[in-house]
Structure 1
Amino acid sequence: MGSYTNGVVGDQSGTSNGGDGGVAVDKGVDFANYFCTYAFLYHQKEMLSDRVRMDAYYNAVFKNKHHFHGKAVLDVGAGSGILAIWSAQAGARKVYAVEATSMAEHARAVVKANNLQDVVEVIEGSMEDVVLPEKVDVIISEWMGYFLLRESMFDSVICARDRWLKPTGVMYPSHASMWVAPIRSGLGDQKSNDYESSMEDWYRFTDQTKNYYGVDMSVLTKPFSQEQKKYYLQTSMWNNLHPHQVIGTAATVKEIDCLTASVSDILEIRSNFLSTVTLQNTRLCGFGGWFDVHFRGRKEDPAEKEIELTTAPSVNDGTHWGQQVFLLDPPIRVSEGDKLNASFSMNRSKENHRLMEVEFSCEIRQYSGELLPPFRNRYFIE
């Protein structure tokens, strides 16, 4: 099989300065490239229509009212304001709903329509710049991007926590985990065919340009091929996987305690993991990545009812996050009992701190004991 090289995870509502350990970013550029998306109601509607997401947050708040009753709450990246409204309905004394975009105007309208304007204060501005009149007891936020860390919004939550959360305060969610597993998928064949078609079209183009216009463009064939490979074969994909597409045991590659994590902890994710193939005579077509978040409260002040939000492959509709799919080209034939000894790394893109670069390295020991040639793939989550 030899050694392969493939290529980032992509955007929700986030940081302006990179925070602890981060790199300074131009706020105007960041807003134009990222925050502006969240100013549109269609995008808010997509998230609000995700029943798995909505049910998890609703249950986390209303099954743990003791964390909210009579308390001050900060909603980071408030969007339409629904989490702030739920916090108020659960008995919060005061809710500060911070939203970086003009969606704040719509949030104010929704808050007023629900007669909560005396409790919920919507503040339009960057979380890094906003000044609150008091420390808060709870920080609630839906900060998760594709494969959890895409968009780097957690930076803003960390900033809010370090500036405004009381020493006894709780985080909603409180914990997060990232998972990967080997998968089978027809997407790889489709993308490989798309790449081949793009190259056939390129060869026709260069022939015609030379024959009709007397200019030889074939010197650009290699860079064009690299460009198309990155687009079709090296850029990870969003997909809703079925559990039957997972062909081996899943592994946790990162666990995050939202109460203690720093930006430095998430700038670079590295993990070595083992997976055992669980299907007879199948194809390893790549890896799938997903995340869970948990609402546990804190050790000294635990949740009365712990709630989990998972984006794992589902027999139902799943979530709007789906899973991140990292395709292997070409696929590798594997069978039940084969062992995958893999390493995973994820870093922020140097060009855009909200995008990610991922690398998988893997060797496969077949059930018979034979060791297959290792492979290493790079991916871009965009």
Structure 2
Amino acid sequence: MGTSANAAPGGRGAPVPKDVDFANYFCTYAFLYHQKDMLSDRVRMDAYFNAIFENKKHYAGKTVLDVGTGSGILAIWSAQAGAKKVYAVEATKMSEHARALVKANNLQNVVEVIEGSMEDVTLPEKVDVIISEWMGYFLLRESMFDSVIHARDHWLKPTGVMYPSHARMWMAPIRTGIVDHKLGEYESTMDDWNNFVDETKTYYGLHAGHLEYKGGSTSLWNNLHPHQVIGTAAIIKEIDCLTATVADIEKVRSNFSLSITMETAKLCGFGGWFDVHFRGRSEDPAKQEIELTTAPSVDYGTHWGQQVFLLHPPMNLSEGDDLKVSFLMSRSKANHRLMEVELGWTTGYMADSIALDALNDDII
């Protein structure tokens, strides 16, 4: 529900150079309006609330670490569920608001708010539970899970549990009218650029035509209606939060099959979403497993929405048609909190591929 620092890509929680740690990422979460957006997400809030209070056995009398506490709500709930000590780590000045909220709920003797990056914090003891709302758009944008892995490897007891305990990434074929809209935007942008090049040459004698201008992208954030999903969904990545390493999530590579389930359908792209589960661990399972899903929904949408990867032109397909899809998502070299995606797909009679600057601040 807040932020922590980032761990180095490729290492198990090793610190990253300061020039890789982007100030704007932390600044975003330091403002109350951003926290309000997350706190207003009922699906998100209900899932964490139920996960904690339906599984008090994991909290009563236990020590808890909240990674990226933000406003402090998860730390407060952990204390209200009976935790004897909660360490609430927050990398931004939101920690001041968290302390005020903790005091307002008379829990300052249980919840200790610590301002600092998770990688730099030293706790006086190991903990029984690590809780965190670390998920970004399409699960892995922002790379905050690196900090959770660092916390787990350094501060979780051998018998400890992770909240959430598991995560999955999904993808399905979709139909949408956004394709034409985005194409219109792209053409308008390119017209503006070409006019700029012409005018610069005419008025100032400057030849700028050799410069490459990328005026559009094929990926964007969206809230899909379930009716826009035109085929089966496939899991493209499963994560066990108790054992996953940074290397496991630096690159997500998957080959999977999708099947069209509508009698006639226009394939306009692919929609991606995620879910997380609160299951405890095999030796100490949750009394009540809770799921938080960001799948397309009429009544239970989330602030995460879905990530949409558009195709142009759309393709007419029929019920029973199969798609073979190859997927690769890796961290941007320019900013490892952002992701780049490559999608390739084939049907029985056609093949295509698209490279996407996806999950980018210019897009979502």
TM over 0.5: yes
Which residue type is aligned with residue 45 of structure 1? Answer: K
Secondary structure in structure 1 of the residue aligned to 2:295: coil
Give matches, 1:205-224, under 5 Å.
205-220=196-211, 223-224=212-213
Give matches, 1:161-200, under 5 Å.
161-200=152-191
Match status 1:282 vs 2:259: no
Give how far 1:191 is off: 0.8
- Residues 22/351 of structure 1: CA separation in 2 closer, same or farther (3 Å cut): farther
- Residues 76/378 of structure 1: CA separation in 2 closer, same or farther (3 Å cut): same
**Distance of 2:243 and 2:300 partners within structure 1:** 33
Give how far 1:219 is off: 3.7
Secondary structure in structure 1 of the residue aligned to 2:69: coil
Match status 1:375 vs 2:359: no
Contact 1:363 1:375 (8 Å CA) reproduced:
yes
Contact 2:59 2:82 (8 Å CA) reproduced:
yes
- Residues 14/178 of structure 1: CA separation in 2 closer, same or farther (3 Å cut): farther
Spell out, residue by residue over 1:330-349, the C-alpha distance to the aligned partner (whole angstroms, 9 max, x if none). Answer: 21121211110111111111
Contact 1:22 1:267 (8 Å CA) reproduced:
no
Contact 1:12 1:151 (8 Å CA) reproduced:
no
Give how far 1:197 is off: 1.4
Match status 1:362 vs 2:345: yes
When normalised by structure 2's length, the TM-score is 0.94
Query: Which range moved further: 38-47 or 26-35?
Result: 26-35
Contact 1:141 1:172 (8 Å CA) reproduced:
yes
- Residues 21/94 of structure 1: CA separation in 2 closer, same or farther (3 Å cut): closer
Which residue type is aligned with residue 375 of structure 1? Answer: D
**Distance of 1:35 and 1:213 partners within structure 2:** 42
**Distance of 1:303 and 1:189 partners within structure 2:** 47
Which residue type is aligned with residue 377 of structure 1? Answer: I
**Distance of 1:334 and 1:306 partners within structure 2:** 38
**Distance of 1:268 and 1:21 partners within structure 2:** 15
Partner of residue 345, structure 1: 328
- Residues 260/13 of structure 1: CA separation in 2 closer, same or farther (3 Å cut): same
**Distance of 1:215 and 1:35 partners within structure 2:** 40
**Distance of 1:205 and 1:25 partners within structure 2:** 40
Give how far 1:29 is off: 5.3
Query: Which range moved further: 202-211 or 171-180?
Result: 202-211
Which residue type is aligned with residue 151 of structure 1? Answer: E
Match status 1:132 vs 2:109: no
Aligned partner of 1:108 among 76, 88, 99: 99
Spell out, residue by residue over 1:2-34, the C-alpha distance to the aligned partner (whole angstroms, 9 max, x if none). Answer: xxxxxxxxx965414346267863336524131
Match status 1:76 vs 2:53: no
Which residue type is aligned with residue 146 of structure 1? Answer: Y
Partner of residue 57, structure 1: 48
Larger RCO (CA under 8 A, 6+ residues apart): 1
Match status 1:233 vs 2:210: no
Secondary structure in structure 2 of the residue aligned to 1:233: coil
**Distance of 1:263 and 1:360 partners within structure 2:** 22
The gaps in structure 1 that reach 5 residues or longer are: 1-10, 366-370
- Residues 95/198 of structure 1: CA separation in 2 closer, same or farther (3 Å cut): same
Spell out, residue by residue over 1:65-84, the C-alpha distance to the aligned partner (whole angstroms, 9 max, x if none). Answer: 00000000000000000000
Report percent identity of matched pairs. Answer: 70
Match status 1:144 vs 2:135: yes
**Distance of 2:146 and 2:40 partners within structure 1:** 26
**Distance of 2:114 and 2:10 partners within structure 1:** 21
Secondary structure in structure 2 of the residue aligned to 1:293: strand
Secondary structure in structure 2 of the residue aligned to 1:85: helix
- Residues 281/214 of structure 1: CA separation in 2 closer, same or farther (3 Å cut): same
Secondary structure in structure 1 of the residue aligned to 2:335: coil
Give how far 1:378 is off: 1.2
Secondary structure in structure 1 of the residue aligned to 2:230: coil
Give matches, 1:256-295, under 5 Å.
256-295=239-278
Which residue type is aligned with residue 192 of structure 1? Answer: L
The gaps in structure 2 that reach 5 residues or longer are: none
Which residue type is aligned with residue 149 of structure 1? Answer: L
**Distance of 1:17 and 1:218 partners within structure 2:** 39
